[in-house]
Amino acid sequence: MFTVLAPLFIFASLASSACIPAGGNTNTATPPKTTSTTPPQTPAPAPVSGSVRFHPNGDKNWCLEVQGNKRANGTPVQLAPCTANNGAQAWTVSRGSTQVKLAGTNFCLDAGSTPGNGVRSKIWTCYAGLAAQRWWYTDDNRVALEGKGQCIDLPSGEKRTGNVVQTWQCGTGNNNQAWTTSQATVARRALDERQSCPLPNVSQHRFG
């Protein structure tokens, strides 16, 4: 009698995860068709480690926010009360030349194809080198569109929910254009346990 031993194959699956730092064309996008005019609201995910919140002239009660947490081309960027663990208020930015990204997404702060006084700001899909998304975050806390002399501006300086920010001619000492940052709160400690993300220092300002 012969005994046949069937080979045993063991398949092991290893899953790994990595923290990837978050990174529009400014034409009007065609929205996808939907069968409902009232889509369900999706809660904002917790911000990623190293992201920051923008505050108007140092007031930490108010934050720069993507309106309605709508992650879509053309969504306005507005002022709203700061809330903990709100990904709609979490951004990634560096001092000097930078994109201003909604943390954990591929959407960037965008000035549109014809930036000027009173043009409302929005988010758009991030594109490397797109002029409407190239900002300069200055040492005195202004977010200036590179080469255009335009800064992110809080209209009339009004701190109220829904006040959509705009571009406006940069002006020294204009408090409506001062945007300080603080670290965005996170729901859990990041894998690398970093507790802060200081912005690199630059001494150069570039507006026009």
pLDDT in tens, 157-208: 999 999 999 999 999 999 999 999 999 975 543 323 333 344 444 333 344 4
Q: Has residue 32 been placed in a domain?
A: no
In a domain, 30, yes or no: no
Please report whether residue 115 resides in a domain: yes
Tell whether 58 is covered by a domain: yes
Give pTM, 2 decimals: 0.68
What's the domain count of the chain? 1
With beta carbons less than 8 A apart as the criterion, state whether 95 and 201 touch.
yes
3-class secondary-structure state, position 46? coil
pLDDT per position as a tens digit, 71-90: 999 999 999 999 999 999 99
- 189 falls within a domain: no
In a domain, residue 126? The reply is: yes
CATH of the domain at 121: 2.80.10.50
Q: Is 49 a residue whose pLDDT tops 90?
A: no
Which residue range(s) make up the domain with 80?
Answer: 52-183
Q: Does 197 reside within a domain? A: no
Q: Is residue 201 part of a domain?
A: no
What DSSP line would sit under 75-96, residue for residue? -BEEEEE--TT-GGG-EE--SE
